[in-house]
C-alpha cells in the first residue's frame, strides 16, 4: 500500500518559489503605481502652470493693447508697468502690473492690489522691455512661473504687444 500522506499538497520549496514570484510581481505593480502617481502629479503641475501663465499673459496683453501711454521699470525683474488708456465708456483709467510677495498683481486707478496668480504658482521673474519704432510702441513681456509645492516645475512665457490705443 502506497503512503499518500506525503504526496498531497505542495512542498516547502514550491511554496518558497511561489512566494518569491508573488513578491516580485507585487514590487513591480507597486513601483508602476508610484511612477504613475508621480507622472500624474507632474502633469497636473504643468497644467496648472500653463493655465496661470495663459491667464496672466492674456490680461497683461489685453491691457497693453488698449493703452495710450506706458511708464514703468524696464529691463529688470521684478518689473512694473503703469498703463494709461480709456475703458469701454471712454473714461481715462490707469492699470498697474507688478510682482511682489510671490504673486503678480494688478491695480486699477491706484486702487487695491488684486492678485493675478493664485494657488501654488509663483512668478520668479517678470520683465517688461520697451520696443519702439518710428511709428509705434510695443512692450515685450517676459514671465517665468514656478510651482511652489510638489515637483519643481518652471515655465517661461513671453509676448510682444503693440499699443493700439494711440
How far is the C-alpha of 75 from the C-alpha of 141, rounded, in Å? 10
Residue 162, classed as helix, strand or coil, is: strand
Q: What percent of the chain has pLDDT over 70?
A: 93
Grid coordinates given for 119: 494657488
Task: Report which DSSP code applies to 149.
Answer: S
Q: Does position 7 have pLDDT exceeding 70, yes or no?
A: no
133 torsion bin: left (phi>0), alpha (psi -120 to 50), beta (else): beta
What would the pLDDT profile of 121-130 be if each residue is shown by its tens digit?
A: 889 999 999 9
Q: Does position 5 have pLDDT exceeding 70, yes or no?
A: no
Query: Which carries the bigger pLDDT value, residue 26 or residue 113?
Result: 26
| Helix-, strand-, coil-residue percentages of the chain, each rounded to 5 | 35, 40, 30
Q: Does position 37 have pLDDT exceeding 60, yes or no?
A: yes
What average pLDDT does this structure show over 9-21?
87
pTM as predicted: 0.77
What would the pLDDT profile of 43-63 be if each residue is shown by its tens digit?
A: 888 898 999 999 999 999 999
Cα of first residue to Cα of last residue in the chain, in angstroms, is 110
Q: Are 68 and 82 in contact (CB under 8 A)?
A: no
Report the mean per-residue pLDDT for the chain.
Answer: 88
Q: Where are the domains of the chain?
A: 33-162
How far is the C-alpha of 23 from the C-alpha of 84, rounded, in Å? 68
Amino acid at each position: 500500500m502506497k503512503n499518500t500522506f506525503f504526496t498531497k499538497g505542495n512542498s516547502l520549496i514550491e511554496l518558497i518559489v511561489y512566494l518569491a514570484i508573488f513578491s516580485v510581481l507585487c514590487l513591480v505593480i507597486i513601483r508602476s503605481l508610484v511612477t504613475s502617481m508621480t507622472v500624474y502629479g507632474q502633469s497636473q503641475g504643468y497644467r496648472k502652470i500653463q493655465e496661470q501663465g495663459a491667464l496672466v499673459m492674456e490680461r497683461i496683453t489685453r491691457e497693453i493693447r488698449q493703452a495710450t501711454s506706458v511708464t514703468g521699470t524696464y529691463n529688470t525683474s521684478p518689473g512694473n508697468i503703469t498703463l494709461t488708456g480709456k475703458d469701454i465708456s471712454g473714461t481715462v483709467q490707469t492699470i498697474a502690473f507688478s510682482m511682489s510677495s510671490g504673486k503678480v498683481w494688478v491695480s486699477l486707478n491706484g486702487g487695491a492690489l488684486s492678485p493675478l496668480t493664485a494657488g501654488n504658482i509663483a512668478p520668479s521673474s517678470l520683465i517688461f522691455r520697451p520696443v519702439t519704432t518710428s511709428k509705434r510702441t510695443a512692450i515685450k513681456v517676459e514671465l517665468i512661473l514656478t510651482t511652489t509645492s510638489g515637483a519643481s516645475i518652471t515655465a517661461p512665457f513671453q509676448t510682444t504687444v503693440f499699443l493700439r490705443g494711440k
